[in-house]
Chain A
């Protein structure tokens, strides 16, 4: 069975596909629930500043050496890279775990910049999407991520535990 997402209203000029997941950042022993906007244009899964704060992640503990520039349509921004895990649930209660290298935005210099960073969604990028079949049909309200059967990744956690 697929991992199901949906199109929330209110956020965007045009509804966008979202999916909910449990997120782990082992190096800081941090975890929590998160909504991701599914973005086939993004290479990497990326956290919004609001989710960084919700998880109480410490910027002091991010490695300076992991800082990398990421190009977007509006220019280049810096992000820290961290090993992380994202867990999704299927309708039949099976869970899937994706090990990823998550991107975490460097905080803006001013309060205004940080406020704008907080209002952006966390993004599920192709590091996860490319491991699945993705079906999106706005007219029918369908967003389905289907992990391929027998694939090495994602790892069904029932097999792990």
Chain B
């Protein structure tokens, strides 16, 4: 099946482009919310994984498996949550 047909099918499956647009918007807000919490998270959850969904911090865990388990038990869709690692180390990156 050509990729454009696949695209139509998948976009409809997720609820149409307006729904996706709103979800991207919400994700942007969650991403910015996480940024606004960054210093607080550095104090509370240093070297832990954290997740933000719908502008609230919904879970944290010492490793990714613990975090994902918590998200599953709270029925928070991992594919729509902002997940990040709170590290004190800021390494240089050359990607």
Contacts and interface: CB of A to CB of B under 8 A. Distances in A.
B63 to A, nearest CB: 8
B35 interface: yes
A64 to B, nearest CB: 22
B24 to A, nearest CB: 5
Interface string B1-27: 001101111111110111011011101
B35 A85 contact: no
B68 A53 contact: yes
Contacts, number: 124
> Chain A contact residues: over half helix, strand or loop, or mixed?
mixed
Interface residues of A, number: 52
Interface in B62-95: 63-64, 68, 77-83, 85, 87, 90-95
A74 interface: yes
A73 B94 CA distance: 7
B79 A32 contact: yes
Interface of A: 6, 8-13, 16, 18, 20-22, 24, 26, 29-33, 35, 37, 39, 41-42, 50, 53-56, 72-74, 83, 85, 87-89, 93, 95, 97, 99, 115, 118-121, 123, 155, 157-158, 160-161
Given A21-B24, A160-B8, 18 more contacts: A13-B92, A13-B93, A16-B93, A26-B3, A32-B77, A32-B79, A33-B23, A35-B31, A53-B68, A54-B81, A56-B79, A83-B6, A85-B6, A85-B7, A87-B24, A115-B63, A119-B85, A123-B95
